[in-house]
Structure 1
């Protein structure tokens, strides 16, 4: 059962033109839960993409995992900006060949971490941090021009390109591989059981707890009359967050005990199992050879 659409509207009963009623800013609790719902939708969308018939979806998860890890190491060793740009273009080509939406893939890669990385490395472009040829003078110090240097821009570009390419490889792996098969591939490659178990449980029950928080907030909203002031609403929201955190902690503790007992009763050994087994095919061998050749070409060109 899901909540009715009218209950989930941020401003119920208001005219779209704003001539009837008084508009209020949404609460921080609602915005946070809306973001959590977006995470759930993205996870469901990722599972649908992983079930497609693209290039990477047809590969053995072990092959993809080993190939992506190898390419990540190579990208970390390359010091040429044009080569890193070429590697990023190759990841975009893989995304297109795998049936991923190009706009979604680019936004998912560039919307957060590379932009923040650019903000972090921005001071490194200044001459006070990285001395060199000043391209854009910003101020003078003892008669010398200070500002953005060519060497600083090159170093910042290397970091941003390396981070963007690395994130693209990770996104390709996670979007084109079902989570259960990815965990099984990790275990098949010798990753310790406890590591795989913690990742699997955290991924699975994080969404369950998010759903529980959403249910708690929807139930509170259905039983609360609106019309109080903004200050009172903010205080009530903070009280709800504090009480909800304690309730959620109790639910998580109880759930962990029940899940552990259920897993023990079913003779769980810590290994991730899938209905379809792993098998190497010709396309897997071709992809591994192509990835190794591409990595070797990057290293040789960089040297």
Structure 2
């Protein structure tokens, strides 16, 4: 039996029948997030290896204003498709959609992330293998193999920061001043990498003072609640920790906000200890208004 094709009439009918969906204001979203954070134990920090990329409206407008269409090759990861509107761009990041199920996906990822520096070929290979595996697993589980080059470049940049932080910590522990200086310079420069600024030129984290329930004592205490407002908001904190030669601060920042894995941090396991990181940040003096 022949199945009729989808027509504009179908779309109009579905659109007319769909219930209205109200858009939450920024204040409402903040209030909801604050309630969620208040109900969670303070030592629990949700971690996702590949979060969606959210970028500011000004950046959305700027990137959408620069067009460009590539021709997709047969059986290639290149699709020739780009974000269709501001919502697509905000959720998925800038750049071309890539098909993770294509056979040349690994080589395309290697090519589009070639400008992101790593301490060694081995550390770069760890990051790229993990990205390819994650994207292909997501494609299999979600029946969708598309992700943008901008988002994936940012994810690789985050992994590079983890690797440089490991090198920095290892050099500090061994007394290798030259190696520590080089790693610190790379961490300081990471805030200006195009793979980072294309997604997040602001790199901003705000804090709020709140009365929360301490799960260990059952008492209400005043804490500084850190709110990550932009994807790479923690990069300046990484830079400052390197400038200050503060390994505890570096471990705390990466432990709370970083996506680092054990494979990337063989010499810096402190950066993988979420509970220790949260305790360190909570013990800091409250920032001034």
TM-score normalised to structure 1 length: 0.26
More helix by share: 1
Which structure exhibits the higher relative contact order, with contacts defined as CA atoms closer than 8 Å and separated by 6 or more residues? 1
Higher-Rg structure is 1
